[in-house]
């Protein structure tokens, strides 16, 4: 079976080399592959072209609707791996959408890339199959808070969060739009006892001005509560664009 990938601006698969823009590996040169489809629908999602296709009425602040055929492309796991290897990087970030919805095919892809370090960016609601899990070096888990618009029973699944909280490979990255969102993070931190140094707070925003304004009040909150702060470096470098 094929992998379903998002498309870049030219209509090809969104496979590219860049600097990781967020989280514990920020600034590291990596290869990226972006998969299509998501089981959640964040109202502020900056990759809505991976899920909000014609006929999908889940809310989004831009109310943008994308043509599925124009924004999805299928490749075999082997061909996807070949394109990733051609980028010449030794670290791979698998993102989406929600990439673990295609866990079995991802495992097959990674069998063709045995020497790459692998990060998976996930919303934390899906469990990787064992065949994939053994090939993952780092999980970047981004549980969705109430301001995302997702019901908590869909976005915050206790069994999944318990699993990730006890996995030393997992780092947690929370998108913060207002100071009150940090209270939700603190409640989750008390419940799941995330590892020290494994929690990042990241301002929500798709332009530098918004990110900088929110970081002014977010930085003191990180200092107060002992959380790490993540920037969105790719936004400052490239703007809110595909393939970056």
With CA atoms as reference, report the closest residue to 97 among 122, 68, 67, 119: 122
CA distances to 46, 67, 139 from 149, in Å = 14, 23, 23
Considering the four listed CATH numbers 1.10.10.10, 3.40.50.720, 3.40.50.2300, 3.20.20.70, the one that applies to the domain covering 3-238 is 3.20.20.70
pLDDT given at position 64? 87
The C-alpha angle 126, 132, 137, rounded to 5 degrees, equals 95
All structural domains of the chain with their residue ranges:
3-238
Q: Each residue's pLDDT tens digit in the chain (244 positions)? A: 999 999 999 999 999 999 999 999 999 999 999 999 999 999 999 999 999 999 998 999 998 899 999 999 999 999 999 999 999 999 999 999 999 999 999 999 999 999 999 999 999 999 999 999 999 999 999 999 999 999 999 999 999 999 999 999 999 999 999 999 999 999 999 999 999 999 999 999 999 999 999 999 999 999 999 999 999 999 999 999 999 9
């Amino acid at each position: 079976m094929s992998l379903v990938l998002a498309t870049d601006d030219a209509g090809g698969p969104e496979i590219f080399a860049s600097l990781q823009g967020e989280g514990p590996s920020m600034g590291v040169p990596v290869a990226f592959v972006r998969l299509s489809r998501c089981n959640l629908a964040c109202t502020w999602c900056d990759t809505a072209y991976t899920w909000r296709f014609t006929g999908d009425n889940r809310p989004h602040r831009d109310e943008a609707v994308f043509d599925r055929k124009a924004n999805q492309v299928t490749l075999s796991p082997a061909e996807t791996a070949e394109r990733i290897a051609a980028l010449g990087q030794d670290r791979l970030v698998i993102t989406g959408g929600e990439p673990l919805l295609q866990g079995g095919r991802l495992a097959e892809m990674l069998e063709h890339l045995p020497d790459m370090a692998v990060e998976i960016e996930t919303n934390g609601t899906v469990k990787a199959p064992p065949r994939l899990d053994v090939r993952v070096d780092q999980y970047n888990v981004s549980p969705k808070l109430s301001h995302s618009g997702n019901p908590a029973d869909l976005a915050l699944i206790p069994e999944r969060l318990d699993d990730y909280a006890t996995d030393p490979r997992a780092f947690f990255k929370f998108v913060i739009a207002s100071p009150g969102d940090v209270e939700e993070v603190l409640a989750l931190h008390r419940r799941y006892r995330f590892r020290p140094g494994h929690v990042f707070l990241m301002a929500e925003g798709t332009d530098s001005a918004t990110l900088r304004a929110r970081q002014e009040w977010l930085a003191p909150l990180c200092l107060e509560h002992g959380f790490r702060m993540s920037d969105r470096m790719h936004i400052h470098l490239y703007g809110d664009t595909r393939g970056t």
